[in-house]
Chain A
Amino acid sequence: MDNPRNEPSWRKWYVMILIANLLYFLVFIYLMNLYA
């Protein structure tokens, strides 16, 4: 069940999550420039 060979590539997921959060960060900077 927990055989690593059956799991998707987790590194890809971790990078995607961190990129998503980097995007939030950039959106916040954009909103700040627009409204603050």
Chain B
Amino acid sequence: MQLLDWTILIGTLSFIVFYGYYKSKGSKNVKDYLLANNESKWWTVGLSVMATQASAITFLSTPGQAFHDGMGFVQFYFGMPLAMVVICVTFIPIFHKLKVYTAYEFLENRFDLKTRSLAAILFLIQRGLAAGITIYAPAIILSSILGWNLKVLNILIGTMVIIYTVSGGTKAVSVTQKQQMFVIMMGMFAAFYFIVSQLPEEVSFANALQLAGASDKMKIIDFSFDLDNRYTIWSGTLGAFFLFLSYFGTDQSQVQRYLSAKSVRESRMGLLFNAAIKIPMQFFILLVGVMVFIFFQFQSAPLNFSPAANEVVKSSEYAQQYTDLELVYAGMQRRKMELNMDYLQAIENNTDDRKALQNTMEQITTKEKQIREEAKELISAANKSTETNDKDYVFIYYILNYLPSGLIGLLLAVIFSAAMSSTASELNALASTTVMDIYKRNLKTEKSETHYLNASKWFTVMWGLIAILFASFGTLFENLIQFVNIVGSIFYGTILGIFLVAFYVKSIRGASVFWAALLSEILVIAVFFQDILSYLWLNVLGVFLTVLMAFILQQLNNFRHRPLTA
């Protein structure tokens, strides 16, 4: 990193923090602080929803995903437009009509206070843990690759977010998210342009796509019914539909974005804007990863992109075996470079050996994969707890080693911006839920407007500190990200189940859904500890159990209170 990179990085981030602080300070009341006084326009809502969803891991991990497994991940987003339409039709008009501050407030209106409090507490546990990860995940990657102190990074990202989120609330979050999205898109376009321009002169963009296809990276849509295959068009539309429905419809960090809109119309337009551009945007980020892959077809790439993994294996008894593998890998890469050029020549001259060349390339790709797997086994043998999957490190490795000075600073600003934009929404939502659903409704019910405004600010600080603290102790937990995903899966299903009953089964009352949710949560936790199901299925189980038991309990209740003369 040169002076220019530091200037761009520090300049961009300080500008965003101070602009957010000055543009939004001086909230007069709780509505102003938590709902941005209901003045947001649709493009503010749209960008805010997008920036909340896109965390730093999106920009670090997604290109790496495409680098290793191709473009198939884009299918995961086909369920999103459908979920957005359902939310626009059902959720938004009701939330606006009831003028709620949080999604859980609606549950009191529909059921009762205890159901509202239960859903709010489930959200707070799950999102409270996740906020720590939103900071920790990019910090661990940046600290490992740049040698920066992990704790300092955690505190730095957390503090920057706390400064403007506490002072300006929802308005500060959305004002800064617009700039963060601008920085993110500018950085990603610049990176894409540079990758393509750094390809050998004789390789055009169309050639790059042809080479990607020959290396099996252009299988965008997969129609197979294979349950072991995580990304198919079926799992991407059906499975992801429920995931996005619960994320955008019941997670306060997203709901709060569109509740700040001026009207139903502005909320809907904001979500539909996302539904229209999310798939091309995700396609573009994956394409960046595929172009990085093509770039490394003409440049030597490391056997494993993670510096921590390399260090572990090279200081172990397996160092010699690993070096031998590196030599074999380098030889294969040289062979592949020649093949790539021959393949392009064959396409240009339309000769018959094209198919044969493609077969040889596929064989080499398979062999490459095998060698990478062997390398991972050696890393695991050297130290079991080391993360061997290097997909999070591919893009940042390219950025730091091949982008010109200035752009490195900009791309690091992209990663920081993405981390900050997601964290800000999370802290903002955690504070709103704590104040409106728990504190104001259960603990201090008769206080002044100023009291609740100050409480909102203090709770934002509190959740910010908890997130930093959790991120700082991140290294103590083995595989922390998976741990948080598991916690999410344990609670998400039940919350969605409560909302689905609330919206679609009018005959079920509060007591039935409350006990159904509580029982379902206990059962999901029991199933998790018995290790019966893979954790992603706990979401589905939670929804299913909550809806089914609410229905049964309501029937029993109706039966108990049936008229005796019937």
Contact = CB atoms under 8 A, between A and B. Distances in A.
B525 interface: no
B264 A24 contact: no
Given A2-B264, A10-B268, A18-B82, A31 B89 contact: no
A18 B265 contact: no
Contact of B276 (A17, A32, A34): A17
B488 to A, nearest CB: 26
Interface in A1-36: 1-2, 7-8, 10, 13-14, 17-18, 20-21, 24-25, 28-29, 31-32, 34-36
Contacts of A20: 81, 276
The 7 closest A-B pairs by CB, nearest first: A35-B213, A36-B218, A28-B220, A35-B218, A21-B81, A2-B264, A36-B213
A18 B85 contact: yes
B212 interface: yes
Interface of A is mostly: helix
A24 B268 CA distance: 21
A31 B81 CA distance: 21
B272 A13 contact: yes
A10 to B, nearest CB: 7
Contacts of B264: 2, 7
A2 B96 contact: yes
Contacts of B268: 10, 13
Given A17-B81, A32-B220, 14 more contacts: A1-B263, A2-B97, A2-B265, A10-B89, A14-B272, A17-B275, A18-B81, A21-B81, A21-B275, A21-B276, A28-B221, A31-B209, A31-B220, A36-B220
B221 A14 contact: no
Interface in B280-325: 280, 283
Given A14-B89, A31-B220, A21 B212 contact: no
A13 to B, nearest CB: 6
Given A7-B264, A20-B276, A32 B218 contact: yes
Interface of B is mostly: helix
B219 interface: yes
B221 A24 contact: no
B210 interface: yes
Contacts of A8: 265
Given A17-B272, A36-B213, A2 B263 contact: yes
Nearest to B84: A17
B408 interface: no
B463 interface: no
A19 B84 CA distance: 14
Contacts of A25: 78, 221
B265 A17 contact: no
Contact of A24 (B85, B93, B263, B279): B279
Interface string B208-235: 0110110010111100000000000000
A21 B78 contact: yes
A31 B206 CA distance: 11
B74 interface: yes
B110 to A, nearest CB: 20
Nearest to B210: A35
Contacts of B279: 21, 24
Contacts of B265: 2, 7-8
Contacts of B272: 13-14, 17
B140 interface: no
Contacts of B210: 35
A2 B283 CA distance: 35
A21 to B, nearest CB: 5
A29 B263 contact: no
Contacts of A7: 264-265
A32 B222 CA distance: 10
Contacts of B219: 32, 36
A6 B81 CA distance: 24
Given A7-B265, A10-B88, A31 B275 contact: no
28 contacts: A1-B262, A2-B97, A2-B263, A2-B264, A2-B265, A7-B264, A7-B265, A8-B265, A10-B88, A14-B85, A17-B84, A18-B81, A21-B78, A21-B275, A21-B276, A21-B279, A25-B78, A25-B221, A28-B283, A29-B220, A29-B221, A31-B218, A32-B219, A34-B209, A34-B213, A35-B210, A35-B213, A36-B218
